[in-house]
Structure 1
Amino acid sequence: MKDTFLRIERVTTGLAMAGACLMLVVASSLGMFQIITRFVLETPAEWTEILIRLALIWMVFLAIPAAFRQGAMVSVDVLYRWSGPKTRRALDAVVSLAALALILVILWWGWDYSVRGQVQSMAGLESISMFWGYVAMPVGALFCTFGIVGNYLDPRRLELETAQ
């Protein structure tokens, strides 16, 4: 069961990270396009600004699961160094539960916010609903749940192991 979940987590975190990398490429490409149209061609493409912002939002929310998986989001390094193995597991449980609680709130309210915002349109892109910007929160939160549970089942603390 644990191995199956960790395989699923590895795939979902990999997909989320690939999506984050893709959004970075999109944002960078649109930024270059905007620079060329604005300063070289002197006819700015205003629509690129909102798409860059949208890509950056998606990039952040899709990259967060990898940070949770690595144990880099919520860190209690000093307590880990001072504690024994049983206390460390208890700290893992507390941190994981707190992170899951926060992520589940973001998932719930992010979805609610997305549904409520679907009647709005993006400024500069009137044909695209704000739903696609807001839904990054619950999608990222859903991927985060896999990373948090994966980190609890198989903790990774490379920065702690190399610092000692």
Structure 2
Amino acid sequence: MKAIIKGIDVVNKLVGYVVGLMLMVMSILVIIQIISRFVVDVPIHWTEELARYLMIYTVFFGAALALRHHKLIAVEVIAENIKPKARKILKIAVMVITIVFMLILTVKGFEMMPIVGKQTSSAMGMPMSMAYMAIPVGAMLMIMNAIAVILEFLTNEHVETNEAALELQAVEQQGKGEQL
């Protein structure tokens, strides 16, 4: 299982570099668009469109990375107030639900490709399937990372990042120390 987690983390490292590159290209495109529109007064229309599509990919890929590092927004009122074993079961259940939802998103995303592939973007003339491909690819990355999180929980490799959960663990450890 550790080899699977390690392999997923290698893929995530590559995805992280891709996200960084997309952010850099997107920033350069926006600067070029501003200069061409307001300084030179000759707007380059495709820069705005490409920056938009890069943003879409960045969001999907970044969400997958955030899932892997437990940085997605979450309501943890219940998880904060239950014992660690129950918390672990709850978090695994949440990841399983995430996988099911992302599987649906992947399947529906690929089903959508022939429909949107007939359309082209207005400024660049590229098939819209290239832009919409961010949905199934991002969902597959999230599935991969949800599997890594589950494996982490099952192998006890998970490091708690929630402050309230860390406090609860400290109190429980202190209670065990007093019992000895």
* Same structural fold, with TM-score higher than 0.5 when normalized by the shorter chain: yes
| Corresponding pairs, count | 162
Instruction: Flag the 1:139–1:13 CA change in 2: closer, same or farther, 3 A.
Output: same
Structure 1 residue ranges without an equivalent (≥5) = none
Distance in 2 between residues matched to 1:115 and 1:61, nearest whole Å = 21
The CA deviation string for residues 77-98 of structure 1, in whole angstroms up to 9 with x for no partner, is: 2222222232112102210111
Code of the aligned partner of 2:135 = M
Residue 131 of structure 2 corresponds to 133
Q: Do the aligned residues in 2 keep the contact of 1:70 with 1:156 (CA within 8 Å)?
A: no
Report the alpha carbon displacement of residue 21 of structure 1 after superposing the two structures with TM: 1.4
Contact 1:16–1:65 (CA under 8 A) maintained in structure 2:
no
Are 2:80 and 2:165, in contact at CA under 8 Å, matched by a contact in 1?
no
Cα gap change, 1:136 to 1:156, in 2 (>3 Å): farther
Given that 1:61 and 1:137 are in contact with CA atoms closer than 8 Å, whether structure 2 keeps it comes out as yes
Asked whether 1:158 is paired with 2:167, we answer no
CA distance in 2, matches of 1:120, 1:48: 19
Matched, 1:18 2:17: yes
**What per-residue deviation string (whole Å, max 9, x for no partner) do you get for residues 12-45 of structure 1?**
2222222211111111110000011111111000
- Higher alpha-carbon deviation: 73-82 or 133-142: 73-82
Post-superposition offset of 1:160: 3.0
Shift of 1:103: 0.9
Length-normalised TM-score, structure 1: 0.90
Q: Secondary structure at the match of 1:71?
A: coil
Cα drift, residue 163 of structure 1: 6.2
The CA distance in 2 between the partners of 1:25 and 1:47, in whole Å, is: 17
Q: In the aligned structure 2, how far is the partner of 1:51 from the partner of 1:102? A: 28
Contact conserved, 2:19 with 2:62, CA < 8 A, in 1? yes
Task: Kindly state the Cα deviation for residue 130 of structure 1 after the two structures are TM-superposed.
Answer: 0.6
1:53 has 2:52 as partner: yes
Aligned to 1:148: 146
Distance 2:81 2:164 in 1: 13
Q: Secondary structure at the match of 2:162?
A: helix
The structure carrying a bigger strand percent of its residues is 1
CA distance in 2, matches of 1:161, 1:139: 34
Which is bigger in relative contact order (C-alpha 8 A, separation at least 6)? Answer: 1
Q: How does 1:45-84 map to 2 (within 5 A)?
A: 45-73=44-72, 75-84=74-83
Counterparts of 2:84 and 2:103, CA distance in 1 = 28
* Distance 1:46-1:152 versus aligned 2 partners, 3 A rule: same
Q: Deviations over 1:19-77 (max 9, x none)?
A: 21111111111000001111111100011111011110011111111111122336352
- Give the greater-gyration-radius structure (CA): 2
Q: Aligned letter for 1:30?
A: L
Residue 162 of structure 1, CA deviation: 8.3
